[in-house]
Amino acid sequence: MELHCTRPGCPRPLNVFPDLTDVKAIKTVNQKFCTACGMPMILAGRYLPQRLLGRGGFGAAYLAIDRFSPTLRTCVVKIFQPDGKLSPAQLDMAQGLFEREAEALEQLGNAHRQIPDLLAFFPLQVPSLQPGQMQELFYLVQEYIDGQSLEQELEKTGPLAEADVRKILLEVLGILSFVHGRDTIHRDIKPSNIMRDRQGKIYLLDFGAVKQVTQSAGKVANSSTGIYSPGYAPPEQMQGGAVYPATDLYALGVTTLVLLTGKEPADLYDSFSGQWEYRNRVNIAQDLADVLEKMLRPTPRDRFTSAQEVTAALEGASLGLTPPPLPTPPQSQSSSARTRPPQPAPPVPALSGPPPPVPSSPPVPRPSPVSAPQAAPPRPLGSPSRAPFSLRELLGHAAFTGAEGGILAIAIASFVGTSFVSTGSWLILLMGLMALQYRRVIEGADLWIIAGISLVIVGLVPVLTRILSRDLVKLLILVGLAGLTAVAIALLFQILFRLISRFF
């Protein structure tokens, strides 16, 4: 049998033990030691690591077998192995996260079928590689599931079908209903932390960043410690503010977009409009788009306040019903609990990323979602009730404004000549047109109709008859050039804004 040494920095971690050939030998052998560094290979006298699954900022994960189970059950052994460059405060934070994951798995995983169960959590004192010194290592053992993460699925197959994504979304919402009902926020929802086994069941992984919250009138919500995955975390989490169930729902909304499009969050978020731009990449049903829009609103109180609300909105729309006013989030969901004994659940191949620079604060109570603090994300064009302008719409409106401005300039000049009054009148009319477009009073086909009517009216005005009969081609060229100029200005502004936003 081949075993893998778990000591950080072992020069030759793979070891072959020819005598471990059958179940009886595996169950009765006293101990095996790494031939390169002397590290005990049978952890806690029970777990035999066989191969490396992955590494992360806090440690490594190994596929192992439990020799004390009748069938040599497969499990996952995770070792706390932080970066050696961490400060003492960061090291304390990292160790706290590792212990927090063990606590979360014990409290949540052992009570829900779609969260990994904790099998063991123990320290191990071993001789250090430095002579005369001892080294303390921390291990977490959890159940194993034969499957792959949704991030791995995307890499292999590309974007998922809408029906499949809906199923995944509802499954994860069910898990979050249970998690939030236990006054816990996951805080790191993303494709790599969602696994699907070979039978298609969905599991939620990596509880190293969980946050315990309580509710109490007049007290503030638990503040974030800065632990998040860029692109998936909402503004309040990135700013180190309070976290809520709506915080997880935002990350789940981003995850859904990534699964539908196969694109990274940075490729889907438009910093110019402050909106998620995905409709030009994938066609989805309107009810799903409406739900995602609410999940992804920048301030927590404008989102759904519970996973149950999202589920009700999705299921109500699928039945052709208009969902009733969304209820306040319940405190718990006892129906999610299970009574079965521990069964294998999925591993987390790599542990969480680099720890934040400051230790976490102790849990404090959380207010109702209505009192959630206002975040400061990029603001969309217009109020939240108006849809943002896409780049195509922006350039189309610019072309219309330029062309219509040229027509108005010719008409006013023909009637009253060029003067301060005519210039002021032209500016007022042009600003009015722009305001109507901004408020979406006129848009789409309206722009073509208005431009066509304007040209017809200008062509029928008697004062302009002489000018048009002699110079119609020049008029059309002038109007076209005015529209192209406006498009060029709008496009240049868009490019400059994007370039500046990259640096600031």
Catalytic residue numbers read 188
Q: CA 339 to CA 54: how far, in whole Å? A: 32
Instruction: Give the position of tokens 């009148």.
Output: 425
Alpha-carbon gap, residue 390 to 304, rounded angstroms: 25
**3-state SS string for 168-226:** HHHHHHHHHHHHHHCCEECCCCCHHHEEEECCCCEEECCCCCCEECEECCCCCCCECCC
> By CB neighbour count within 10 A (0-12 exposed, 13-18 middle, 19+ buried), where does 160 fall?
buried
From the number of C-beta atoms within 10 Å of its C-beta (0-12, 13-18, 19+), residue 77 rates as buried
Residues whose CB is less than 8 angstroms from the CB of residue 332 and which lie 6 or more positions away in sequence, other chains included:
181, 182
CB 387 within 8 A of CB 434: no
Residue with tokens 């169960």: 117
CA pair distance 52, 60, nearest whole angstrom: 8
* Contact in structure between 223 and 211 (CB atoms under 8 Å): no
Closest C-alpha among 196, 178, 300 to residue 238: 300
147: which strand partners? 197
Give the whole-angstrom CA distance, residue 124 versus residue 159: 43
| CA 483 – CA 486 distance, rounded (Å) | 5
61-66 contact pairs (CB < 8 A, 24+): 61/347, 61/348, 61/349, 61/350, 61/351, 62/4, 62/6, 63/144, 63/347, 64/141, 65/26, 66/119, 66/141
What residues are paired with 54 via a beta bridge?
A: 61
Per residue, the 3-state secondary structure of 214-259, as one string, reads EECCCCCCCECCCCCCCCCCCHHHHCCCECCHHHHHHHHHHHHHHH
Q: How many helices (H) and strands (E) does the chain have?
A: 13, 16
Phi, psi values for residue 366, rounded to 5°: -115, 140
Residue with token string 């064009």: 381
- Judge contact between 209 and 188, C-beta under 8 A: yes
